[in-house]
Amino acid sequence: MTVNAMTSKEVTKKVFNKEELFILDVRNHSDFQDWKIEGENFEYFNIPYFELLDGVEGIMDKIPTYKEVLVVCAKEGSSIMVAEMLSDEGLTVSYLKGGMKAWSEHLEPVKVGDFKEAGEIYQFVRIGKGCLSYMVVSNGEAAIIDATRMTTIYLEFADNIGAKITHVFDTHLHADHISGGRNIAEKTGATYWLPPKDATEVTFAYQPLEDGNLVEIGNVKINIHAIYSPGHTIGSTSFIVGEKFLLSGDILFIDSIGRPDLAGLAQDWVGDLRESLYKRYSELSEELIVLPAHFMIIEELNEDGSVSEKLGTLYAKNHGLNIEDENEFRKLVTENLPPQPNAYQEIRETNMGKINPDEEKQREMEIGPNRCAVR
């Protein structure tokens, strides 16, 4: 009996719309505990598929008949098998097309704003991994910030809206995902910008991105203004775009702040992190809309699925911006850290150009949640 395949895009819409969904996850318990599809109104039951090889009769009382049911596994095969068994028992179920592998790689573009000078900014939500990347468009030109390795979507999106990609930026040397920035620049002839303090070991040519750099996009001149803001890495750089948006990279998130330890230098960089957040950012307009490079929890999503908040609101509500005692702050960001991202050292070396793993290896390196924030 054939069962319905549900795509990552369809599941993403359910997340954005806060719909109900029952997920039967047939991966190992440890994989499920580490990383799962998250939705505010999703329910879950996790049982490894090998426990279902002799049939699904034992779990029929766990599967609701009044909700949409999605079976999920790592790559799709096991979920098809379990979905077919449930279908044979009379249930209507779907399986996740491409499994968690596809979920990890799905990008959903959301328009987050317009510029008064004419132009717009789009956020690409990597819903399964919490990565956020951006495209600034003005008068037929586009700039991309913090691109993922799934570069086709940016190229096709720019093509569909009639924009030529002229600049590509990374706010810092990423450690949780492989950057697509250099790849996009090579394919389009765009200028690739990288903070030089993060690029001391890179093996390729780049344009140094430094404090005060002004890059114009389109004839109407939407300025991308670089602000040196170290702390997550020593080169971390933020952007003010069109005097309206603050692209904060991995320094400041909606519900948390960046971690300073992904190069093993937490004690060294914690002072930089505090200065960036408590001095440099505090001097900026509270009306700036913060667009971070990651989100941590599904509750950070706005009604339309985007992730953003005014800087003034974050100074009022984000705990990481309200720790007066410097020692307490130091303790928070050096002792209260989640596990390191999977394969973060290999990811950093890939982003430096030192190693060039094949696509399957890159996919494997990135599996799991992002872990760029202090808890």
Do residue 154 and residue 272 come from a single domain?
A: yes
Contact predicate 112/95, CB 8 Å: no
211 vs 196, residue with greater confidence = 196
Do residue 336 and residue 319 come from a single domain?
A: yes
Residues of the chain with pLDDT > 90, as a percent, come to 71
CA distance 328 to 32: 33
Predicted model pTM: 0.94
Q: Token pair for residue 226?
A: 């670089």
pLDDT category, 141, cuts 50, 70, 90? very high
Is 196 a residue whose pLDDT tops 80? yes
375 part of a folded domain: no
Selecting among 6, 15, 73, 136, the annotated active-site residue is 73
Contact predicate 55/30, CB 8 Å: no
Write the burial class of residue 180 (CB in 10 Å: 0-12 exposed, 13-18 middle, 19+ buried). Answer: buried
- What residues make up the domain containing 253? 107-366
What's the pLDDT score for residue 17?
95
Is 101 a residue whose pLDDT tops 80? yes
- Concerning whether 73 is annotated as a catalytic residue, the answer is yes
Task: Give the pLDDT mean for 160-168.
Answer: 96
Do residue 28 and residue 81 come from a single domain?
A: yes
Lowest mean pLDDT among 169-183, 194-208, 223-237, 344-358: 223-237
Domain of 39: which CATH number? Answer: 3.40.250.10
* 69-99 residue pLDDT tens: 999 999 999 999 999 999 999 999 999 999 9
* 242-294 residue pLDDT tens: 889 999 999 999 999 987 755 555 677 788 888 899 999 999 999 999 999 99
Task: Give the pLDDT mean for 133-158.
Answer: 96
pLDDT category, 371, cuts 50, 70, 90? confident
Domain of 358: which CATH number? Answer: 3.60.15.10
Query: Among residues 58, 74, 103, which one ends one of the domains?
Result: 103
What mean pLDDT is reported for the chain?
91
The amino acid present at 338, given as its one-letter code, is P
Do residue 243 and residue 350 come from a single domain?
A: yes
Domain count, the chain: 2
Do residue 160 and residue 205 come from a single domain?
A: yes
17 part of a folded domain: yes
CA distance 129 to 367: 8
Return all residues near 330 (Cβ < 8 A) that are at least 6 apart.
270, 274
Do residue 132 and residue 205 come from a single domain?
A: yes
What's the pLDDT score for residue 247?
94
